[in-house]
Amino acid sequence: MLHLVRESAVGQILNWASKGRILPYPDQRADYVVPSKYLKGAFDSQAPTLNASTSPRPPADVNTLVDAEGVVKKTESQEGAAAGDLEKGSVDPELPPEIAAYPFLVEFDENDPDNPRNWPKWQRNFVAALVCFLTFSVYVGSAIYTSSIPDIMVTFGVSQVVATLGLTLFILGYGIGPMFLAPIQEMPHFGRNPVYIAGLFLFVLFQVPVIFAKNIGTILVFRFLAGFVGSPALATGGASLMDIFPMESAGTALAVWALGAVFGPIFGPVVGGFAAQANGWRWPIYELLWISGASLLLLAFFLPETLGSTILLRRAERLRKLTGNEMLKTQTELDATADETILDVAWLNFVRAFQLSAEPAILFANVYIGLLYAIFYLWFEAFPLVFGDIYHFNLGLSSTPFLGFVVTGFMTFAVYLSYNKYYFNPRMMTDPNFQPEARLELGVPAALTIPISLFMFGWGARESVHWIVPIIGASLYFPGVFIAFQVCLNYLAMIYPQYAASIFAGNDLFRSTFASVFPLFGAAFFKRLGLGGGSSLLAGLNILMIPLLMLLIKYGARLRAQSKWTPGH
């Protein structure tokens, strides 16, 4: 457990402030034996042989081991020449092949306990649970606001459209944010944690102006900012799980994370509905403050850094300080472009996301998932009309039908895991003619549940029909949207592996833009067309997407062969 604390944000601050005396790494302890491969003389043809047992142990009051006993001292010119050759990758051709590329490379050893994929199973599961809680604590902030909308309209004298902007701007914020913040988390000098914790801290802080807002403008501004700074959890939470789980377990881990992410908006109205009914519009935001505040405290002390390149970079920095050997470098340092900045990376990611969106497979996934996501947020406008106006549920009870999604969510999750374990993964490993488009096949039967759900909800919502019918109808929407997300995004990651981050950020922007707009006209849409007519129109749009999905399965390989973005082009 101390390992988790040491790698957390608080642990890193304590370690830095105490110069390694608090929560020290092994290489910061007085009895640490420096491996010979990290000493300057280790690869000098004139140097004596060194190993872990004979290399010098640094006294507690000495910060460098350069020229210590057992290390051959070189002249300044010799050191400069050696450093220059090593930086260029030029070394003695007689050196063993394993060190010929760069002898002072800092990398994970076999079974290295600092490698996230070598962590004990309980630790990886615990970290995965923390990432899921982080995602939930931000995602719940979108829909928890919907319970406040009626009272905000009364308190500030604004229309439903204006009050709903607090929801749409939050969604838009977490759609735009990853385009700029996610690239920072891929940079070894930053890593995942600083962006997570700093963003979550600001997310918690931005709830305070909303709670004490004196006008609608303050609410809208800080709702957008909260969505923006909280967005890394929604965009790169899955990447954090990929850091710690091997490929054979990654699919399950991502499915669990996705389930936790979707449950955020589902539980939001349930959590906020009764609070808003009892104490007014501010109390759902208080609840969001408590949830995200608890998440901040827990994660600040226990969420470790998971990006391997960042962990290695920190190790290299400590070893350079300890040994004085400035030639110790990680692979990312050797590969880095000297003049590349954070803004350069962010801009490249932003532009590439739009360029990739022109690819047929990505364009289809963006439009299809965007449509499904937007309809999902239309439920937040439709449920009050059905369960409030037709079935006369109060504000608190009118949100409880969202719990139907939880039931179908767990059922869908079980089916999806079984499909992967007993059918898809064995097929992928044994079929010599396997094509990535096979990942999409499960999406076809799953897509059929979406129009069934919409028809059942729209035409079953009437006083003469029991309220359980529209609840069951709405709940059937979950299998379609969950599996569509899984198969489409996994498919894109398979065919464009080197651009997965840009694709996911672009998809996040695309679907969040869709979802941010739909709630603005949701109430008017259903009132004009009726619940049956409006649901039928949405069902028809989804039915039109099914043949396109089947065409992508059939002709996807041919499209990939013509793409300049696929590997080998």
DSSP letter string, 464-518: TS-THHHHHHHHTHHHHHHHHHHHHHHHHHHHSGGGHHHHHHHHHHHHHHHHHHH
**Residue burial 5-35, b: 16+ Cβ < 10 Å; e: rest:** bbbbbbbbeebeeeebeebbbebbeeeebbb
Summarize the confidence of residues 42-69 as an average pLDDT.
Answer: 42
Q: Tokens 């998932």 label which residue? A: 369
Pick from 404, 386, 541: which is nearest to 479 by CA? 404
Q: CA-CA distance, 506 to 356, in Å (whole number)?
A: 8
* pLDDT over threshold 70, residue 338: no
- Which is higher by pLDDT, 272 or 82? 272
pTM of this structure: 0.82
424 to 152, 241, 434, 445: CA distances (angstroms):
49, 21, 10, 15
Pick from 381, 532, 530: which is nearest to 470 by CA? 532
* Three-class secondary structure of residue 568 per DSSP: coil
SS (H, E, C) 196-215: HHHHHHHHHHHHHHHHCCCC
Average pLDDT in the chain: 83
Summarize the confidence of residues 504-508 as an average pLDDT.
Answer: 80
pLDDT digits (tens, 9 = 90+) for 108-164: 888 888 899 999 999 999 999 999 999 999 999 999 999 999 999 999 999 999 999
- Which is higher by pLDDT, 365 or 343? 365
Angle at which helix 477-495 crosses helix 360-383, to 10 degrees, equals: 160
The domains spanning 119-306 and 340-569 adopt the same CATH topology: yes
pLDDT at 558: 87
For residue 524, which amino acid is it? A
Q: CA-CA distance, 49 to 42, in Å (whole number)?
A: 7
Q: CA-CA distance, 414 to 408, in Å (whole number)?
A: 10
The lowest-confidence range among 69-83, 179-193, 228-242 is: 69-83
**Helix, strand, coil abundance in the chain, percent, nearest 5:** 75, 0, 25
Summarize the confidence of residues 192-205 as an average pLDDT.
Answer: 95
Half-sphere exposure of 559 (CA within 13 A, CB side): 18
61 band by pLDDT with thresholds 50, 70 and 90? very low
41 band by pLDDT with thresholds 50, 70 and 90? low
| 275: phi then psi, degrees, rounded to nearest 5 | -65, -45
Contact 527, 384 (CB under 8 A): no
63 band by pLDDT with thresholds 50, 70 and 90? very low
pLDDT at 83: 42
569 band by pLDDT with thresholds 50, 70 and 90? low
Residues ≥6 apart with Cβ < 8 Å to 69: 56
Pick from 126, 460, 179: which is nearest to 345 by CA? 179
**Residue burial 271-293, b: 16+ Cβ < 10 Å; e: rest:** bbbbbbbeeebbbbbebbbebbb
Summarize the confidence of residues 446-463 as an average pLDDT.
Answer: 93
* pLDDT over threshold 50, residue 54: no
CATH architecture of the domain with range 119-306: Up-down Bundle (1.20)
Class at the top of the CATH hierarchy for domain 340-569? mainly alpha
**Domain limits, the chain:** 119-306, 340-569
The lowest-confidence range among 241-255, 397-411, 542-556 is: 241-255
Pick from 310, 323, 342, 265: which is nearest to 71 by CA? 323
DSSP-derived letter for residue 101 is S
pLDDT at 342: 65
* pLDDT over threshold 90, residue 80: no
Work out the widest C-alpha separation in the chain, in whole angstroms. Answer: 94
